[in-house]
Amino acid sequence: MRRRAHPHLTGAPAVLVPTERRNGMKTRTTSLKRLAAGAGALSLAMVGLISTAATAAPGDDPVVGNIDSGATGSIMVHKHEEHSASEDGNPAGDPIGGVEFTVQEVLLGGSSVPLATAEGWDAIDGLSPGDVPGNGFTLDTGTTAVTDGDGEAPFTGLNVGFYLVTETASGPNLIATPAAPFFVAIPMPTDTGAWDYDVDAYPKNILGDFTPTKTAGDHSQEIREGATALWTIGVPVPAAEFDYESLTISDVIGAGMTFDSWVSVSIDNVALDPDTDYEVSADNSTVTLLGPGLDQLNAITDAQTSANVTAVIRTTIDDIGVLENTATVTLNGKPVDTPSVSTNWGALHLTKVDDGNNDVTLPGAVFELRAADSDGLCNNPGDLIEKSAPTADDGVANFEFFVGNNEDTTRKVCVVETVAPAGYVLPANAVFGPFTIDAASTAEGDVPAATWAADIENHKAEGPNLPLTGSTGTLLFTIVGIALIATGGTIAAVRHSRSKA
């Protein structure tokens, strides 16, 4: 009964294990003795493949004449990820499913190589996979098998003969270097002097890797309302001998943003057609290369040539704060996340108040939000970011604007008051700040996250002292006038009295 192998990948092109040596026993490399005029050349014909049969004791060598020409055998190919703990015939890496192998019989003069004779073994002495077809050798059409979830691809019902095993398709796997083609003889010699008709092969396998990137790109405007941001996803597609079978890019938009559009998808800066080369999922989260798009990719890549796939997505900015985004790229079944990147937005919340009573809010003030100068100060405020509408009765002017990308979570800004509320005057220096806006800040009290709140005071206008022409002055003049009249009357009476005397 064939033992199910553990996940494995050896450091040699392949390891061939006769069935009787496949039960956890320690194996070692052998160089078979000459078997009847050339049988021992099998190990050389394997082009570096390691036979796991132990060295036979004198007199224990298999005898070519003992081969049963009418028997059938099998080859079990085991495909596993490379692992440092692997040993010959005892894998330690994960199995790889979906890989296609092809087994073809090597024919000599149109017929099976006669391995039941010494002449047959002599004929394959020193033969390498690159030698066939040629030199009288041909290949039959062969049969294919695909590794299952345990990494096993069985080939059964094989007649006695000499076979070429080739890895012919990667399936849903990112395989950088496929297994080198190798030979298998049915049967294989063992260290007990017998022949084994059921052989396990552990071809060497090197999986590929790639590191996609994501960049938070340009924002459409400085102010948040109506703003959009671009995100660029880069996929360095590694060189590979096999054609790529699938590539998808998924981007589930994070909080504070909504999807706008996939702007473009390109290969080596050549734009792909969204109608034929790729499709977008119904929920707009995923781009998948279709057949024509994969054809363009595979026309570029080969064993020495890589390619770059680039996708650009646009989102609308719905909130302030650190808005993060991550994409997932799946190449031939291998998913890899991009680094998380962010676009960062913040707010400045101003309240216009009376300088004598801050509980009194003032309508009608107008402000300009400007960048701080090169020194991070407000001595010479920089470019205009936004101009506010006049404050309402609550005295509030609110600015929401771009702060930076990724680690740039703070920005210094200045405020210039350009119009004072009615009845109030602009200060001699109407520039305020700098205010340091931190997109990563958390809410504190009544102040929301990513927001700086400040009160801006104004002084009420006061005119000079004017003549008393109001009601109070009139009353005073009246009283004084009456007093003067009374005084005048008294003086006149006194004079009149004196004249009579």
Same-domain status, 85 and 137: yes
Pairing of strands 50-51, 15-18: parallel
* Helix or strand (DSSP H, E) at 3: none
Residue 487 lies in a domain: no
Same-domain status, 311 and 254: yes
User: Which of the residue ranges 36-40, 170-174, 373-377 would you say has the lowest mean pLDDT?
Assistant: 36-40
- CA 483/CA 486 separation, integer angstroms: 5
Same-domain status, 107 and 196: yes
Question: 19 — phi, psi (to 5°)?
Answer: -55, -40
What pLDDT shows up at residue 28?
Answer: 28
Same-domain status, 60 and 126: yes
Same-domain status, 129 and 37: yes
* Helix or strand (DSSP H, E) at 273: none
298: DSSP letter = H
First to last CA, the chain: 165
- CA 82/CA 88 separation, integer angstroms: 12
Same-domain status, 364 and 429: yes
Same-domain status, 173 and 276: no
Same-domain status, 71 and 179: yes
What pLDDT shows up at residue 204?
Answer: 78
Q: Which of the listed residues 339, 374, 396 is the one where a domain comes to its end?
A: 339
- CA 117/CA 107 separation, integer angstroms: 15
The alpha carbon of residue 46 and the mean position of all alpha carbons in its chain are separated, in whole angstroms, by 42
User: Which of the residue ranges 26-40, 69-83, 241-255, 287-301 would you say has the lowest mean pLDDT?
Assistant: 26-40
- CA 125/CA 108 separation, integer angstroms: 13
**Cross-strand bridge partners of residue 18:** 199
Domain count, the chain: 3
Same-domain status, 149 and 278: no
What CATH number does the domain containing 68 carry?
A: 2.60.40.10
State both tokens at 138: 């041909």
Residue 8 lies in a domain: no
How would residue 436 be classed by pLDDT, with cut points 50, 70 and 90? very high
Please state the pTM of the whole predicted model: 0.76
Of 264, 226, 446, 209, which Cα lies nearest the Cα of 351? Answer: 446
How would residue 474 be classed by pLDDT, with cut points 50, 70 and 90? low
Q: Where are the beta strands (DSSP E) in 318-430?
A: 321-325, 327-331, 334-337, 341-354, 366-371, 384-387, 396-405, 410-419, 424-425
The alpha carbon of residue 230 and the mean position of all alpha carbons in its chain are separated, in whole angstroms, by 15
Please state, in angstroms and as integers, the Cα–Cα distance from residue 386 to each residue in 361, 419, 476, following that order: 22, 15, 55
pLDDT at 228 over 80: yes
113-138 pLDDT, tens per residue?
999 999 999 999 999 999 999 989 99
What pLDDT shows up at residue 14?
Answer: 60
Q: Which of the listed residues 162, 184, 207 is the one where a domain comes to its end?
A: 207
Residue 482 lies in a domain: no
Query: 406 CB contacts (<8 Å, ≥6 apart)?
Result: 216, 341, 342, 344
- CA 496/CA 501 separation, integer angstroms: 9
369: DSSP letter = E
Residue 1 lies in a domain: no
Indicate the average pLDDT of the chain.
83
Same-domain status, 330 and 368: no
CA dihedral 483, 484, 485, 490 (to 10 degrees): 90
Q: Which of the listed residues 181, 207, 233 is the one where a domain comes to its end?
A: 207
What pLDDT shows up at residue 206?
Answer: 80
Same-domain status, 160 and 235: no
46-56 pLDDT, tens per residue?
333 333 333 23
Same-domain status, 322 and 396: no
CA dihedral 477, 479, 482, 486 (to 10 degrees): -130
Residue 426 lies in a domain: yes
**Cross-strand bridge partners of residue 354:** 458
Residue 480 lies in a domain: no
Residue 478 lies in a domain: no
77-123 pLDDT, tens per residue?
999 988 777 777 788 888 999 999 999 999 999 999 999 999 999 99
426: DSSP letter = -
Residue 501 lies in a domain: no
Domain hosting 25: range is: 15-207
167-224 pLDDT, tens per residue?
999 999 998 888 999 999 999 988 787 899 999 999 877 888 999 999 998 898 999 9
What CATH number does the domain containing 236 carry?
A: 2.60.40.740
- CA 362/CA 397 separation, integer angstroms: 11
- CA 486/CA 480 separation, integer angstroms: 10
